[in-house]
Amino acid sequence: MAYRTTLDFDFDEPLHCSDCDWRGPAGDAMDFFDALIDVRCPSCDKKLGGLYMFPTADEVRREAAAGNPRAIVELGSVEKQDERLHRAQAAELSQLGQLRDVPGRRSFIVRWDLEEHDDDKWVILRVRRREIGRELGYWEGLERFRAVAELLARRYPGRVRELRPDSGEATTYLLGDRLAWCDGIEKINAQTFPPSTSVRLAEPVLRLLRR
């Protein structure tokens, strides 16, 4: 079934709600979701229009080529996002040799920092304040978090206890608007860095020594 995109949405279309008598432009009645907008009365929530999907990059290009004025305006942003995506993919950590050595045999926590360099967001991996690797950050990049965690587990077998976002900003950038992912970081850590038998046995001993 064909669907409409936000490129077809008329923000200035006058709307009227028969339930509460609200009147206003369609742009004031937009209800945003992850992949679409719904048109509902801002006063009583009655549905006033259809669903409009956010366009894909290919749809923006096609509509711009056909002369859609809104698509032509958005085309610059689409090209910029594509260029950034290609740079991010090229900078991804994917090889064991891209991660620096961590001397010793002790286990450690890897901190997932988010820093701005050259007008872009970079993920900096640190162990005890020492950088061991970096890559460009992804908004809502939980799958990259998983991929990096798996690479760390292979690079430092049995030594990584946790991959931990080091700030609220780093966590927000990872999760974005997807509130359902709130426990995703903890699940990835549990699946990728299960506590070793030696750690489990040592913990009761350490508690006794601290008494």
Please give the mean pLDDT across all residues of the chain: 88
| pLDDT tens by residue, 50-96 | 889 989 889 999 999 999 998 999 999 999 989 999 999 999 999 99
Task: Tell me, yes or no, whether 121 and 173 share the same domain.
Answer: yes
Model-level pTM?
0.71
pLDDT at 210: 52
Categorize the per-residue pLDDT at 183 as very low, low, confident or very high, splitting at 50, 70 and 90: confident
Helix, strand, coil percent values for the chain (each to nearest 5): 45, 25, 30
The yes-or-no verdict on residue 200 having pLDDT over 80 is: no
Q: Beta strands 23-25 and 14-16: pairing type?
A: antiparallel
The yes-or-no verdict on residue 211 having pLDDT over 80 is: no
Task: Tell me, yes or no, whether 123 and 158 share the same domain.
Answer: yes
pLDDT at 196: 61
Q: Is 138 part of a structural domain of the chain?
A: yes
The yes-or-no verdict on residue 136 having pLDDT over 90 is: yes
Strand residue runs (E) in 3-119:
4-5, 14-16, 23-25, 30-32, 36-40, 47-53, 108-117
132: left (phi over 0), alpha (psi -120 to 50) or beta: alpha
Domain count, the chain: 2
Q: Is 88 part of a structural domain of the chain?
A: no
Domain that holds residue 174: 93-198
Task: Tell me, yes or no, whether 39 and 111 share the same domain.
Answer: no
The candidate with the shortest Cα–Cα distance to 189, out of 93, 99, 109, is 109
Q: Is 13 part of a structural domain of the chain?
A: yes
pLDDT at 25: 94
Instruction: Tell me if residue 168 falls in helix, strand or coil.
Output: helix
Task: Compute the distance between CA of residue 134 and CA of residue 176 in angstroms, rounded to an integer.
Answer: 20
Categorize the per-residue pLDDT at 142 as very low, low, confident or very high, splitting at 50, 70 and 90: very high
Task: Tell me, yes or no, whether 108 and 154 share the same domain.
Answer: yes
